[in-house]
């Protein structure tokens, strides 16, 4: 269970963007009877424990999150409704390619960290710049990072780097909104998905 979600800014995909750093997500359901509350079904109990440990009391869109283990062992879809942004209140993520713990090799690449002011981005187009990132932040009414650094990558298909915000809260908001954001590279018929994750500060 997660409480304290800002109803105008959060939906199933954005909640997935935040929680997928701690384990595979199977289903997410917002509760109509409790605005700002949602149930998340993860692939295993360890993933739930990691999410609760690292995100409980985190600040997000002027709200304090409250995470706890649910008494229900499974989410039943039930009757879905429309969230404030027009998206569905229920979504099934089972088998989603954006889940990051689908194999032991894939799981080993993940660093389990609490929210920080620094985000690592990767899989961005080769022509990606600080201005590109700032434009995306403007598009979603997010605060811009205070610093931006590109790594000297070996790949011609994508680039990676670090961004830092003035606070953990602002970085976590960017993570929830921009993780898995799809971008098209200039002059390349390739659709890339921007991946984000927390880094040590």
User: Domains plus CATH for the chain?
Assistant: 2-96 (3.30.70.330), 118-198 (3.30.70.330)
> What sign results for the dihedral spanned by CA atoms 122, 124, 128, 130?
negative
For 99-116, how does the pLDDT look when each residue is reduced to its tens digit (9 = 90+)? 999 888 888 888 888 899
Question: What is the pTM for the complete model shown?
Answer: 0.91
Contact of 162 with 149, CB cutoff 8 Å: yes
**pLDDT score at 62:** 95
pLDDT band at 188 (very low <50, low <70, confident <90, very high): very low
pLDDT band at 153 (very low <50, low <70, confident <90, very high): low
**pLDDT score at 21:** 94
Percent of the chain with pLDDT over 70: 94
For 16-72, how does the pLDDT look when each residue is reduced to its tens digit (9 = 90+)? 999 999 999 999 999 999 999 999 999 999 999 999 999 999 999 999 999 999 988
CA–CA dist 171, 17 (Å, integer): 13
**pLDDT score at 99:** 94
Contact of 193 with 96, CB cutoff 8 Å: no
């Amino acid at each position: 269970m997660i409480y304290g979600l800002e109803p105008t800014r959060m939906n199933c995909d954005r909640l997935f963007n935040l929680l997928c750093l701690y384990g595979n997500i199977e289903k997410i359901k917002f509760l109509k009877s409790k605005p700002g509350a949602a149930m998340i079904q993860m692939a295993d109990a360890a993933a739930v424990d990691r999410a609760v440990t690292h995100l409980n009391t985190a600040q997000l869109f002027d709200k304090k999150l409250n995470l706890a283990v649910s008494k229900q062992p499974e989410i039943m879809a039930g009757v879905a409704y429309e969230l404030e942004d027009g998206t569905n209140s229920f979504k099934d993520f089972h088998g989603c390619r954006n889940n990051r713990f689908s194999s032991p090799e894939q799981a080993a690449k993940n660093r389990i960290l609490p929210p920080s002011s620094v985000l690592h981005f990767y899989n961005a187009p080769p022509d990606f710049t600080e201005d590109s990132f700032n434009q995306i932040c403007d598009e979603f009414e997010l605060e811009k990072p205070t610093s931006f650094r590109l790594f000297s990558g070996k790949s011609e298909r994508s680039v990676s780097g670090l961004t830092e915000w003035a606070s953990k809260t602002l970085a976590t908001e960017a993570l929830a909104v921009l993780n898995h954001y799809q971008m098209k590279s200039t002059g390349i018929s390739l659709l890339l998905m921007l991946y984000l994750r927390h880094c040590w500060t």
